[in-house]
Structure 1
Amino acid sequence: MSSAPSRSNPDPIDDALTAAVAAVTARIVAVGAANPAVVVDGRSGAGKSSLARRLVSAWPGRGRVQLVALDDVYPGWDGLAAGVEYARETILLPHARGLLGVWERWDWDAGARAEAYAVDPSLPLVVEGAGILTPDIARLADVSVWVESPSASRRDRALARDGDTYRPHWQRWARQEDVHIDRHSPAERADLRVRVP
């Protein structure tokens, strides 16, 4: 009997994310920067966070990689555009200019900014979140990724993750994503497009 894992029941999501990490990693290597900035955009539940975490774990270089999730930045349920602009000003722009960036986490319960975090411009940076791939941010990113997934799959994953906290806000958030997509065409702007089942 073989000790190799059975592939009779492959996990298509795992396979898609593994392939995506390989493609993004190859792009990072091709850029050749010591401190590249990577942005990962996509609608809620598409797989951005999973891809970003795997990418950081498989980073093709030595040293620490900084990961910022926009879920920690958006100022509330109506804050997609404001959160993206805040990330541009406090995280991505300083990083691109070789300056220390400082951002404050959004405390969803208190409805206010909380503790501060520094972004070291000498280290690689991954920023993931819906809305992040705008024209201004595309110019600051060394690699940009759009993650897409079927609506039903996205909704199931997002609500399994966040449950009743997110359920009443699903449509409210989706409308903000629609505005971002209509205004900025992130899928067409991305260096890489990734599909997660």
Structure 2
Amino acid sequence: MSEPPVRGDAEQVLALALGRPPTLGAGRLVRIDGPAGSGKTTLAAAVADLAGARVVHLDDLYEGWDGLPRIDAQLGSLLRPLAEGRPGSYRRYDWHTGHFAETVVVEPAGLLVLEGVGSGADAYSALGTVLVWVEAPDEVRMRRGIERDDDAFAPYWDAWARSERALFARERTRERADLIVVT
């Protein structure tokens, strides 16, 4: 139960997505949400490897450790144009400088994978083809988060977890998921 998602989970996500009509213009949008350290990035990479999909990591969109409540504006500038068949964009947040950096342009694609806390925002449900919820026990998630971020995340873990819980409760993300993956 402590291992991240594997190829079988990615195959299931991809089959579900390809079995549904396009929702993001002519493309499909897989949204992979769940709490920090649950295995979202690993699952997104496995889906991308299978399908040659573009992955956008919400870690690049948050405005720092307290940016989760404001993720909707960034999602709008990315997803709304893509739904119209035009390139979408977002400002990449530079965690080292603590400021937004360049604008990243995302061209329309057959399959886009959006992964990160808040990717399942209900405001963009109509644009999503598949919503995946990934979860793991708290102690496993914390260990993964700290191993991944070299203790940079440790001082922010509790505050981030509170923001996640509030977001997930408000959005009912897990309840709306098409697929639940437990790692």
TM-score, normalised to structure 1, is: 0.85
Aligned partners of 1:30 and 1:107: how far apart in 2? 37
Structure 1 partner of 2:87: 100
Aligned partners of 2:64 and 2:33: how far apart in 1? 18
Residues 1:142 and 2:129 are matched in the alignment: yes
Q: Which amino acid aligns with 1:55?
A: V
Q: Which moved more, 1:165-174 or 1:34-43?
A: 34-43
Return closer, same or farther for 1:170/1:12 CA change in 2, 3 Å cut-off: closer
Structure 1 partner of 2:66: 78
Q: Which among 11, 31, 38 is matched to residue 30 of structure 2?
A: 38
Residues 1:113 and 2:100 are matched in the alignment: yes
CA RMSD of aligned residues (A): 1.7
- What SS does the aligned partner of 2:56 have? strand
Q: Is this contact kept in 2: 1:138–1:189, CA < 8 A?
A: no
Aligned partners of 1:122 and 1:22: how far apart in 2? 19
Residues 1:27 and 2:16 are matched in the alignment: yes
1:115-139 Cα deviation digits (max 9, x unpaired): 2211112442111001221211222
1:51-92 Cα deviation digits (max 9, x unpaired): 001110011xxxx52211011110001001212x13321112
Structure 1 partner of 2:176: 189
Q: Is this contact kept in 1: 2:54–2:109, CA < 8 A?
A: no
Aligned partners of 1:29 and 1:148: how far apart in 2? 23
Aligned partners of 1:150 and 1:178: how far apart in 2? 14
Aligned partners of 2:87 and 2:11: how far apart in 1? 29
Gaps of 5+ in 1: 1-10
Q: Is this contact kept in 1: 2:2–2:136, CA < 8 A?
A: no
Q: Is this contact kept in 1: 2:74–2:91, CA < 8 A?
A: no
Displacement, 1:100?
Answer: 1.3
Q: Is this contact kept in 2: 1:98–1:122, CA < 8 A?
A: no
Q: Is this contact kept in 1: 2:47–2:53, CA < 8 A?
A: no
Q: Is this contact kept in 2: 1:40–1:52, CA < 8 A?
A: yes
Identical residues among aligned pairs (%): 36
Q: Which moved more, 1:47-56 or 1:113-122?
A: 113-122
Q: Is this contact kept in 1: 2:146–2:154, CA < 8 A?
A: yes
Aligned partners of 1:18 and 1:65: how far apart in 2? 15
Structure 1 partner of 2:50: 58
Structure 2 partner of 1:13: 3
1:101-120 Cα deviation digits (max 9, x unpaired): 12121011222111221111
Gaps of 5+ in 2: none
